[in-house]
Structure formats: structure tokens, C-alpha cells
Structure 1
């Protein structure tokens, strides 16, 4: 009988210890980053598992503000995505924005010429608007606190865009990006067209011959005489990769930037037509089409996907982990 009682006590003790460990390891306090999670960049590192503090150049005033990383992200998420969108979409945006910020600081050390780690100038960094912060944005940033995407021990280049029109592109195709390999950015199909308004899905814009010549000169090309814009290559998502205009052969992403990325919304063109000295581009998509599609994130959140599922869809081989408490 004594042996039976002792055995029972051992079972009870082991069970209790197991339950305690399971409970503790499930708590956020005990969360530890995966083995391939990168450290906080040295220029902003404060200590093990500590949230960094950064200097932000405020483009509107020229001031430099010091704020915690999570405080900064509140204004970024509120500016980059509609604050009334689903919580899980905003949480996905928070992870992408946090990763984007840390990757850029790790690579560049800060914003050149600004004496700051980040900037509110969208030509230099991400958008920022503290006036748009609401409770849902706060909740999205808080629930993803310290969470980032990594690959091979480094922060991923966390690109995002408004609308991919049903399929994203690789960085090489959508951005003509070839500085270093980005194997974590895949071309993936998406459900975004189901919820995106028509005015966001489709566009048409006309450029004059003079505008096209000026844009080509910006990227060091002289087309000579030309009567059409010829798409030489498209990627599997349907985005133009390279274009011939007269004597000039250029990447489609470079041409889009030179012509103005808000006018020429994408490189996913259904038609490119010439009418004398005017050239019509008609297509779908908004943005470069690389990384996370924001309308896709919204669509997935609306159907019940959580933020982890959303970011893993767009960065399928990246690791999601926590680097500060």
C-alpha cells in the first residue's frame, strides 16, 4: 500500500510540474526568440530583451524626436493602413513595419544626413501619422510587441504594397531588386480582388511623349524617336519586367518610379497604347506587388486568419519570433 501511495505522489508531482511548466512557457514573459532570430541592431541596442529607443526625424517640422520603437510603430501602422481595418490585418502590418524598420537600421545605421534612426519622410522611410492612432491600432501593436520576421539570422526586407491584383511578385521582378538574394519573398496568389473596390483595382493613365522622354533621362536613357512602348518580358504574376522604348531598354519598375508611382500605379499593364504623342497605360494593382498585399491582409483577416497566418502567407519561408519583451 505504501508503495502505491508513493507512486501516486510521484505521478501527482510530475503532473503538477508539467502543468506549471506548460503554463509558464505559454506566457509571453517566458517567450524566447527562435535560434535564427537576429539581435536588435547595435546602434539602438539597450540590453538583452529590451525594447530599443530611436531618434526619429520629423519631416514636417525638421525636429528630431526620441521615442520607443513601439511608440513609433503606432504612428506608422496608423499611417500605412486604414485604422478601422480588421485587428489582425493591422497586427500583420505592425509586424511588417517593425521588421522593415529594424532591417533598415541594421543595414544603414540610420537615415543618411538626418542624424536619426528613422524618418517620417516617405521618400526615406515609412509613413507616420500620430493623429490617426486609435484603440485598434494600439491593440495591434501591443499584441505583436517585439515580433519580427527573420531569415537566416537576419531581418527580412519586409516590403509591402496596397493591392497585388491577385498575385505578388518576387523582388527581382516587381522591384528590379538585385542587391542581395531575398529567397523569403515569393510570388504567391491572393484573395484580395474579392473585396477590393473597383477604383482601387483598376486604373488608366496617359503620359505625353515629353513626359516619357524626361522619365527615361532620369534613369540615364535616351530613347531617340519612338512610336510605341513595347513590353519585352512579363513575370508569372503578369507584371512587366522590361520595356523597350525606341533605343532604350529599361526595367519596368524603374520606368514606373521615374514617371511617378502614384500616377502609374503598378507595372501590371493590360494595355499600353499609343495615340500620336500620347501613351495610355491601363492596368490593375497598386504598388510594386512585392511582399505583403495590404488588401490581401484585410481579406484574410475578414475570413478569420490571424496575423501569424497572414504574414506567413506573404513571407512563407521567414521565421516569426520575438526579440524583446
Structure 2
């Protein structure tokens, strides 16, 4: 049953007000997004004349437009052309874009040294960031209500992660640019429809108990989303299992066959794989833990670990051995030639299903209803910036 949208919510305004006072400046500030991973060097540039600033925000040099230059990691800092500092900023002129790696981004970039190498951090306005994220996380041609739901979920997730990261001493960024956070590719994934979704929902976030929620999402659940404790081992009140509307998802059902050689390579330490036995399975059918039995031992791993190791779309699957080979020793068990993995859904199964949001929007549901269905007991709240 889809919950009714309530703008006022059920929680005391005092706790919500205290939270708003904490996060309202976030709307006026920039998000810090790490672009790519740490490396020894990165190519940067600007679409307009830009300033190169040091860690104290003092101008050091100018950068000509459309001139790609290489920033390099050096002991204790960063070098760019003839400029060296513990940290460097590239700040484009008005209306300019910054180039990082192989893409254009709004805002500016900070180059900093870490123990893993040089990292480029894009400082970008929250709403500009969302126009790009929505365009990468969903098809821009999808119904407007689905895009709006994605914008609110992405905004909530970003501000939640921003709060978490700012508690960490020396934190350099709030989010990454991959699926581990939210996929962000800068200007190339901005579209009129995704900009409209961000604008129409400007400042709107999901709250629970007066706090912005960690509004995780995934591609498709395969029929039912999952309770958080079956994935994260901790219950989250707004991440409850609900029926999905993902009937049109290309991952509604899937199958993949892996040979015994592939399994041995991807699941080392137990020899040739004899069987895969589910130890714990969620009520929705997701593998929580699996015993991997081989001819040289066995081990029990989580469903998430198994999914990553085998490259499966989700943990909602069954594994069927396909028999063929016989071990050389006469008393050894018959070894499967391959395993057939038959599953449903794509992703961890928590929170909003993107294909489910698409399905609900096509059926006429508004983005508020979509969000309240997938994030149970939450309230849609508009943050006011100073």
C-alpha cells in the first residue's frame, strides 16, 4: 500500500528546526566531489581564463582558456606548470567550466596530496550537481515525476553524506563520482529535463525523526525491495521491504553461466567448486550468506561479497550446478562443469527502485507518492537557505 503524502509530517517541529539550522547553509555552499581516484597526475583546464590559487587562496598564476595542463603529485604537495603548493585551486572566470581528467564540470577544483596520491575535488553548487546526477542515474527521457523523485533522493543522500564527512577530521570530500556514492559526470549528463527536475524540487529532502535520511537507491529490486538489516545488518526504519513496480526493468529476470575454471579463479582458497549452499536467505530470497564448498575446503562469505566476486547483478539469485567433469581420484565427488545463476533485480535492493519509480510515474503517481512508497514513514521537507 502506498502511503499518503504529508507535507507537515508527524515529527516535532523543534527537532526539525534544530536540524534545519545545522544544514541550511549547505544549500548556499558547495558539495565537494572527488573526481576519479587518487593518482600521480591529472589533466586539468578551464573554458575561460582561470586563476591558480594556493592553499591560502592567494593567486599564484593564471591559466589560459582551453589549455590542458598536467598537475603532478610531489612530496608534500602539488605542482602545476611552475607553481607548487601543498594544495592548489583552479578557479575559472565567470561562467566558465573546469576540466578534470576527461570531462567538463561546473564550479572549481581543488588539487590535494593524499597518502594514495593526487586527488582532484570538484567544488560544485548542490543544484548543479543534481542536474548531472539525475541525468546519469536515470534516462533523461523518463517521466518527469520519476526524475523529480530521483532528484529528491539524490539531494537527500548528498546532504546526508556531507554531514557524515564533515565530522571526519581532515576530510577532503563529501562524495565520490561513482556508484559507490552517486554517478556524477559533470556537464555532459545535464539535460533540460534533469535541470527541470532539480529546479522543481529545489531544496526538498526526505527527513525521518527530524533528520535528513540516507536515501539510497538502486536500479531494480526484482519484485520487492529489501529490509536494511538483511543487507547492512542494521535496521533502518525508513528502509523497509515494499512491493516494487519494476516490471519493465531489463533486469527483472536474468541468468548467467560461469564455468568451474572461472569460479575457481574468482573464489580462491577452496579448490574446485563442488557446491554453493545458501546459509542465510532473506524473506525476499536474497542471499545473505553462502557456503562455498570445494574439493580442498570450504568458506562462508556474505551474499554481497559473492555478488562482487562473481559480477552478479544482485544477491537475489539461485545457483544450480551443471554436471560434467569427474575428479581424477576415484573417491572424489563429481565436479560441476559450470554453475547457472538465475536471478532478479539489479543492485542492493534498498530504498527507491529506479525502474520502480519509472513504473509508478507511468501509472500516474506523483514524485511525493513514489518517495513515500520507497522510503517508509519519511516526510518531504523544504530546506530554506539563509
- The TM-score bracket by the shorter chain reads 0.7 to 0.9
How far off its partner does 1:213 sit?
4.6
Q: Deviations over 1:22-52 (max 9, x none)?
A: xxxx9xxxxxx9554473696xx674x8533
Unaligned residue ranges in structure 1 (runs of 5+): 1-25, 27-32
Preserved contact between residue 35 and residue 122 of structure 2 (Cα < 8 Å)? yes
Q: Does 1:266 align with 2:326?
A: no
For normalisation by structure 2, the TM-score amounts to 0.65
Cα 1:36–1:302 change in 2 (3 A) is farther
Matches within 5 A, 1:282-321: 282-321=342-381
How far off its partner does 1:303 sit?
1.0
Aligned with 1:285: secondary structure? coil
Aligned with 2:257: secondary structure? strand
How far off its partner does 1:183 sit?
1.5
**Distance in structure 2 (CA, Å) of the matches to 1:310 and 1:35:** 27
**Distance in structure 1 (CA, Å) of the matches to 2:354 and 2:272:** 40
**Distance in structure 1 (CA, Å) of the matches to 2:31 and 2:120:** 14
> Which is richer in strand?
2
Residue equivalent to 2:257: 206
Cα 1:186–1:128 change in 2 (3 A) is same
Residue equivalent to 1:249: 300
**Distance in structure 1 (CA, Å) of the matches to 2:242 and 2:354:** 14
Preserved contact between residue 176 and residue 182 of structure 2 (Cα < 8 Å)? yes
Residue equivalent to 2:123: 66
Cα 1:104–1:204 change in 2 (3 A) is same
**Distance in structure 2 (CA, Å) of the matches to 1:224 and 1:318:** 48
Residue equivalent to 1:126: 182
Preserved contact between residue 111 and residue 117 of structure 1 (Cα < 8 Å)? no
Aligned with 2:128: secondary structure? helix
Preserved contact between residue 228 and residue 274 of structure 1 (Cα < 8 Å)? no
Preserved contact between residue 264 and residue 272 of structure 2 (Cα < 8 Å)? no
How far off its partner does 1:144 sit?
1.0
For normalisation by structure 1, the TM-score amounts to 0.76
**Distance in structure 1 (CA, Å) of the matches to 2:226 and 2:272:** 32
Count of residue pairs brought into register by the alignment: 277
Residue equivalent to 2:82: none
Q: Does 1:192 align with 2:246?
A: yes
Cα 1:211–1:122 change in 2 (3 A) is same
Q: Does 1:151 align with 2:208?
A: yes
How far off its partner does 1:113 sit?
8.6
Which of structures 1 and 2 has the larger relative contact order (alpha carbons within 8 angstroms, sep 6+)? 1
> Which is richer in helix?
1
Q: Deviations over 1:244-263 (max 9, x none)?
A: 11221222122112323xxx
Aligned with 2:28: secondary structure? coil
Preserved contact between residue 36 and residue 150 of structure 1 (Cα < 8 Å)? no
Aligned with 2:236: secondary structure? coil
**Distance in structure 1 (CA, Å) of the matches to 2:347 and 2:21:** 29
Residue equivalent to 2:277: 230
Q: Deviations over 1:77-106 (max 9, x none)?
A: 111111110001000001111111111121
Unaligned residue ranges in structure 2 (runs of 5+): 1-6, 37-99, 102-118, 324-335
Preserved contact between residue 227 and residue 235 of structure 2 (Cα < 8 Å)? no
Matches within 5 A, 1:167-186: 167-173=224-230, 175=231, 177-178=232-233, 180-186=234-240
**Distance in structure 2 (CA, Å) of the matches to 1:82 and 1:117:** 25
Cα 1:114–1:294 change in 2 (3 A) is same
